[in-house]
Amino acid sequence: MLNVETLTKWMTNFENRIADQKDHLTELDRVIGDSDHGNNMERGVNAIKAAFEKTPPTDDLAQDFKTIAMAMLSKVGGASGPLYGTAFLEMAKLAKTDTDFGDLVEAAAKGIAKRGQAKPGDKTMLDVWAPAADLIKQNKLTAAAIDKLVEATKPMTAKRGRASYLGEKSVGHIDPGAASTGELLKAYLDAKA
Alpha-carbon torsion (152, 32, 27, 109), positive or negative = negative
Binding of ligand ADP by 61 (CB under 6 A): no
Q: Does 34 bind Mg ion (CB under 5 A)?
A: yes
C-beta closer to ligand ADP: residue 2 or 185: 185
The single residue among 112, 136, 149, 156 that binds ligand ADP, judged by CB under 6 A, is 112
Rounded to a whole number of angstroms, the minimum distance from the CB of residue 96 to ligand ADP is 25
Would you give the DSSP letter of residue 160?
A: S
Q: Is 124 in the site for ligand ADP (CB under 6 A)?
A: yes
| Residues in Cβ contact with 113 at an 8 Å cutoff, skipping those fewer than 6 apart | 119, 126, 130
Distance, in Å, from the CA atom of 108 to the CA atom of 122, rounded to the nearest integer, reads: 17
160 binds ligand ADP (CB under 6 A): yes
Q: Which helix (DSSP H) or strand (DSSP E) does residue 94 occupy?
A: helix 80-95
Where on the chain is the footprint of ligand ADP (CB under 6 A)?
29, 33-34, 36-37, 40, 78-80, 83, 112, 116-118, 124-126, 160-162, 175-178
